[in-house]
Structure 1
Amino acid sequence: MTTLSDAEISNRKLASGLLGVFLGSFGAHKFVLGFNNAGIIMLVVSIAGGMVTCGVASFVMGVIGLIEGIIYLTKTPEEFRELYIDARKQWF
């Protein structure tokens, strides 16, 4: 496992936060953090579930992505490292 510098943590925090806000329904922020299973779940629920539910599932995934993006952006770099890089917390 590689250790990330403070600059890399800040870049990952910013990228995942902005992707969560703008493309959260597709799970893009999850892929940036390396949570591929969670990203695939969000992507499938958003696309397949969205077709079945006339967009309701996509809306719900978008709200989850927005909330997670805001959470990422409001964390300090130290909190972000502890929760999402070291502890590998995947949801909220």
Structure 2
Amino acid sequence: MQYQSMEKSKQQVTSNTNNYYASSNADVPTMAKAFAILSYITLIGWLVAIVLHGSHKSNFISFHLRQSLGLIITGALLALIPLIGWLLNVVVLLVWIYAVYHVVQGHTIRVPILGDFYQEHLDFIK
């Protein structure tokens, strides 16, 4: 009897976990993911993504446009710092990989440390 209840609760946890990831992927259209990924690929990719975003408005794309522009600006500013700027840009690269991974997964997770700042101060991107 106890074994059956443990198995039942284990199945519920597994199905709840799968529903979370399935719903997050199902809610985001492939086109929105493509535009969001494009926004993370250099400034030119960001410009193309913002133009395409004009015809396909989406909160998911807007969120990632703000995050990616913030990373682009941060990387450019860090490149101006002599000696340690390149080392700090390695950190930006790792954060960029983290962000692109979550775009592919269909998540809207803010980048560590500066993600909230990007969302607040780049709010002109709607």
The TM-score normalised by the length of structure 2 is 0.37
Computing the radius of gyration from Cα coordinates, the structure with the larger value is 2
Relative contact order, CA 8 A, sep 6+: which one is greater?
1
The TM-score normalised by the length of structure 1 is 0.47
